[in-house]
Every structure is written in structure tokens, then in C-alpha cells.
Structure 1
Amino acid sequence: MHNLVLKITHKIEFIALDEGYIDITEVIKKFSSKEKFAKTFRERIFKHTGLTCSVGIGVNKISAKIASDINKPFGQYIFNSEEEFVEYMKEKKIRKLQGVGEKFEKLLNKDNIFLVKDVHKFSLKELTKRYGKARGELLYLYSRGIDYSPVEYDKPTHSVGAENTYSFTLNTEEEINKKLQEVFETAYRRLKEKNFLTKTISIKVRYEDRVTINKAKTISIATYDRDKLFEYVQEIFNEIEEKSSIKLLGVTFKNLVEFSMRQLSFKDEFNSK
């Protein structure tokens, strides 16, 4: 199924074996309508694999995700604007919003937030003060159909990394640090095998409620120094507020430079003499 989708475009972010996001900004120009694209996509997947799939098209990830769930298992739904999304969602239970799990829902219910429209009466400042920066921003933006996160696809040789999905949630500092180091070591080994240095270090964290956070740091001079890179990974991870109920960890190196083409820093030049 992945190979079939990759024949359409490489601008794809697979988030599970059977789920992913596709940036169809350019692809859609080849079709008479979004409806035609969605129908053709579903039919071709079924023809070649015997598997049904649902398709959701939106103006961003959050609206596309919600749309894909509406007419399962072999249907499609399209949001053409944020306004359409808000109108559809306003009477839905707050749990319908991606990122709102059972515990968070109970907390929101205590504050008389039962439906998505109930969030609209609160300002961003009020929501972040009540529920923290990450969850407050999520509520404010997602309830309004706003999602700026890009479809994160890897261009050939432009990134090297690794990620692991866990059958259990990571909750303690000890187990999280252990798994973070394991996935780092795998990513670093691949970086060395391909003979690359890196200027951008990125980490990915997905929680039990499927909320996904991506954070990155770009440095001025490319490096392959293992200890430095792991320090950066730890530094980036420490910036994340929520450090429990983790189901996936990933480390990716981007802005790669071939070892033979690297520019030496002043320190490197000095030590080489």
C-alpha cells in the first residue's frame, strides 16, 4: 500500500502502517475535483490490494484527519475551508478533537467544556493558563480548525533517522531516557554508515492520545560528534513539557553534509596543524 501511494507523490508522512498524510497541493491539479481524486485513490488501493480505505481531504492535517474518520470504512469527506470544519465540529463532543484523551476530557468537563464550541468562549491566554502551554494551544487552535504543522516527508539523502513505536507507554524518566538513547544510537549509526555530518537535529514524540510533537535544533557547523549530538537531543527533549504516556520516540538528522565536503571549524583547523 505504501508503494502504491509513493507512486503518486513522495510528499507523504506515514504515521502508522495503515495511516498517513499526503500533501496533494500539486497532485490535485491533475484531477477535475477533490472528490474525483479521493474516489480514484480509494478505488485504486482496493483494486491492487483488496483493502478498503477512507479518505479525508482538508486544508491542513487536523481537518484532513477528522474528515478521514467520518465515512469509514470505504468513504470520503472533504473540508474546503476552516469555516466548514468549525461548523461541522462545533456540536461534537470535545473528545472528538485530536489530542483530547479520556483524562483530559474529564478535566475539561469539570470546567463545563463538553462540546467543541465550548472552547470558543475562552481566549488563548485563558486556555494556556488553565491547561498549560501545549494543551491550551492545542485546544485553541484545533477547535478553530487551525493547524500549521507541515506534512513531514523525507527527501532522498536529505535526512537520516530512526523511530520506535512502543507496545506500552513510557512514563518514568529512567525508561524514557533509556529508549531515547536507544533510538539515538540507531539514528547515529545510520548517519555514520552513510558518511554524513549533520546541521539539524530533530526529535519526534507521540503520546498515547496520538498527539505528536516535533522539535528541532539547527547548529552553525555540521558535525558527526556523537556526544555533542546526543547532548543536543537531550536539550531538545527537555524543552518538551509533557514527559509521560509516550508511545513513540524518534531522532532524525537533517541538513546533511557529505564528510568529504564538510567545512572545518576554526577549532578543527587549529587541531589539524
Structure 2
Amino acid sequence: MSGPEDADMVEAAGAERAGGGPGREEETSRRILHVDMDAFYAQIEQRDFPDKYAGEPIAVGGNPPKGVVKAASYEARPYGVHSAQPAIEADRQCPDLIFVPPRMEVYQEESRRIRSILREYTDLIEPLSLDEAYLDVTEPKQGPPSGTLIARRIREEIYKETGLTASVGVGPSKFVAKVASDQDKPNGLTVVEPEEQLDFIAGLPIEDFHGIGPVTAEKMREMGIETGAGLQETPEKRLRRRFGKRGGHFKRLAMGEDDRPVQPDRERKSVGAERTFSDDVADPKEMLSRLEPIAGRVSGRLESAGRKGRTVTLKLKSHDHKVSTRQTTLRRAVRSSETLMRLAERLLGRPHPPEEPVRLLGLSVSSLTGGEEGGEQLELDFDRG
């Protein structure tokens, strides 16, 4: 992740904390897969329209100046183009970038085809989005209980069925599997055996740990911590003094202590994103500018989940960590980034712009519904919140 901020996603109620220990037999015997499609939306467009897009830097999403990138092909990524980026910025970084309007119904259908392949091996599937899911294959429906063999078969079957590539990480925990899936993209397979996980974690840059973005990473470096090995060597008390409860979370992950189960029936109650800035933001216009990619990220996550929401919440945190929220509930569910930005602008000014500079801005959508309802309509009758 690049940029001057930390990013977190608020997407599910009752998120599990990491716990347990790597020495427990049931933990080390688990076989967890993280299946992650490679540049999913962009890859589909390149597959379906090879004469126009194959080998080209493309961005799926809205056009400049108001659009937001939803997905970027691997040809566009060396220029710094990435998802949730304002289209005008992406266009500036990559002058030859081709903007492609999204076809969500096509992506959703491909996701269903891929999900049916995954279900051939296990019912313990936890979708994170249209293109990403955890699987627990400790006791698979078919074949030997080998995470490596199942991962290979899944990748082969996905390509045979759809012509699309996937990267898969295999490990004894969600954390290790997810990080492993990103080690050899695109079209990669990385396997971390239980006895190898501490060495694997030790070699990770601290930015690879969930919850550690550039701001937290800089604080880690001030403590002399550059990698997972540094976290493993740092006493938990010292981490807690600096980062509070998060310090304990970072320490447990570094020690391979993550027994979170794969939850196939997880009910998503809210979708959101937030950014912590390296400097205070005082100008309301600058706050709106910072909210634009956040709204794009929330919109993309809602689209991936096939959901809309009626309650929109703006979160603000001042430099001295005071948190406030402004909220409205609408008659109709919404999800487009344009609508979310109009709502964010009104919430930011209601009842008046923030009086203190902010260090964090966040936007979330709750009261979720299925995404097949009627068109969006911006409501102006804000509730008190």
C-alpha cells in the first residue's frame, strides 16, 4: 500500500480477534487457503475484448475528472495506478491509460462460477468480495487433505472454466494464507507449512501486517522495528505501551497466533473505509478531497458484495484522538461513489464544518440491503446523528 495514510475497512460485525498459539495441535493442522483473483475486473475485460485491451494499461471505473478506479490491469500498475484512486490522478500518472466502464453483472456471474468450483472442495468458504475468499480445506470434500494439491487444482479449474488466473496462499492461519497469496502475483501459488510460518512471518515487512499502514509503520521504525522479526523480538508490553490493544494484536500475529475460523455464514452489517493522515487537515475543501477516494473504495466494496445501504456515517477524529460521527438514514439504499460524496459533503457541513483539524476521516454504509432495488435517490432530510 502506498500513500501517507493508514487504511482500515469496516465491513463485518463481530470481527474475530487473533488468538491461540502455534503450538496447539488443532491450529498447526489447519489448512487455510486464500484465493485471490488477479486484477479480476480488468482481467475479465482483457479476456473478453482482447483486440482492444490485451496487454494494454487499463483501468475499470469512471472517467476523469470525477471517476474512481475500481481495478487496474497489471500493465497499469507500474505507473502507480491502483484501485480506489481518483481517475484524474491515474490518468496523470499513466497518459496511455484506457478507462473501461465496469460491467458488474458480468463480474458477479464470473464470481458465481468461481464460487461453484470452490464448493467442490469445501463448504467452509468465507467470501471477502467478488474476487477473494478464504477456504478451510482441513477436511476437504474430495481428494487428499493437502492444501497444496487442492490449491493447484482450484487454480487449474478456474483457468479451465473461465480463462482467468488466480493467486493462492496456503497456510495454517488466515493471516499467513492471505499474505502468502500476495507473494507471487499474478498467477502464483505460495505454500507456508506450519513449521515454516515463524520464519515466513519474520521476513515480512511490517506493512504486510493487518492494521499497519504507512503511519503506524513509521512509528514502528522509530522503535527499530522493520520486519516481522522485529515484532517477534519486541516485548508485548512495549508494543502495548505504544499502540494499545493493537500492539498485542501485532505481537500475536508475529508469533503465528491466529486461530480465527473461516466463517461461511458471516453476515456483513456495514461496509466502510477510513484514512489516518500523516498531518492534520484543517480546510473543509481539503477534507472533501481526501474523502473522494474513501467514497470510491466504499462504493467498490458495496458493488463487490452486491449490496446497498440506507445509513451513511461520516467519522472524524481530531489530532488529540477525539472521535465524532455524523449520520443520516435515507429512504432509499445507495452505493454509488457520486451519491456517497454528495452525502459526505452535506454531512461535513452539518451543522457546521469541523471546528478542529482532523487526523482521520472515514465513511461507512450500514442498514444494508440486496443490490437489486430501484435506482438511487439522494435524500436531503438528514436524521440527527
TM-score (norm 1): 0.59
Give the counterpart of 1:142 among 240, 253, 256.
Answer: 253
Q: Which residue of 2 aligns with 1:108?
A: 220
Partner Cα separation in structure 2 for residue 145 and residue 113 of structure 1: 17
Q: Does 1:118 align with 2:244?
A: no
User: Structure 2: which amino acid aligns with 1:146?
Assistant: E
Match of 2:158 among 34, 40, 45: 45
Q: Which runs of 5+ in 1 are unaligned?
A: 187-242, 253-273
Percent identity at matched positions? 28
CA offsets per residue over residues 177-211 of structure 1, 9 Å max, x none? Answer: 44xx67xx98xxxxxxxxxxxxxxxxxxxxxxxxx
Which residue number corresponds to residue 192 of structure 2?
Answer: 79
> Which among 169, 175, 178 is matched to residue 65 of structure 1?
178
What is the deviation of 1:10?
A: 2.6
Bigger relative CO (Cα 8 Å, ≥ 6 apart): 2
Superposed displacement of residue 15, structure 1: 1.1
Q: Give the residue type in structure 1 aligned to 2:209.
A: L
CA shift in 2, pair 1:248/1:73, >3 Å: farther
Aligned equivalent of 2:167: 54
The alpha-carbon deviation at position 245 of structure 1 amounts to 5.5
**Count of aligned positions:** 185
- Given that 1:164 and 1:248 are in contact with CA atoms closer than 8 Å, whether structure 2 keeps it comes out as yes
The equivalent position to 1:171 in structure 2, one of 300, 315, 321, is 315
Query: Could you tell me which residue of structure 2 aligns to residue 203 of structure 1?
Result: none
| Conserved? CA contact 1:56–1:68, under 8 Å | yes
- Distance change (3 Å), C-alpha of 1:44 and 1:161: same
- Contact map agreement 1:28 1:34 (CA 8 A) in 2: no
The alpha-carbon deviation at position 137 of structure 1 amounts to: 1.8
| Structure 1 residue matching 2:182: 3-state secondary structure | helix
Aligned to 1:98: 210
Q: How does 1:144-223 map to 2 (within 5 A)?
A: 144-154=255-265, 162-165=269-272, 168=294, 170-172=314-316, 173-175=324-326, 177-178=327-328
Q: Is the 8 A contact 1:56 1:69 kept in 2?
A: yes
Q: Distance in 1 between matches of 2:119 and 2:364?
A: 23
2-side partners of 1:72 and 1:247: how far apart?
A: 30
Contact 1:62 1:146 (8 Å CA) reproduced: no
Separation of aligned partners in 1, 2:148 and 2:161? 20
Instruction: State the 1:131 CA deviation.
Output: 0.6
Which residue of the partner structure matches residue 201 of structure 2? 89
The residue type equivalent to 2:259 in the other structure is Y
Change (3 A) 1:6 1:52: same
The letter of the residue matching 1:116 is G
Q: Deviations over 1:93-119 (max 9, x none)?
A: 211222211111111111111122111
CA distance in 2, matches of 1:116, 1:247: 31
Equivalent AA in structure 1 for residue 264 of structure 2: Y
1-structure distance, mates of 2:152, 2:140: 14
Q: Which runs of 5+ in 2 are unaligned?
A: 1-113, 274-292, 296-313, 317-323, 334-358, 369-385
Q: 1:67 to 1:91 in 2, by over 3 A?
A: closer
Provide the alpha-carbon RMSD of the alignment: 3.0
| Secondary structure in 2 matching 1:74 | coil
1:21 Cα shift? 0.6
Q: Corresponding residue for 1:212?
A: none
Matched, 1:4 2:117: yes
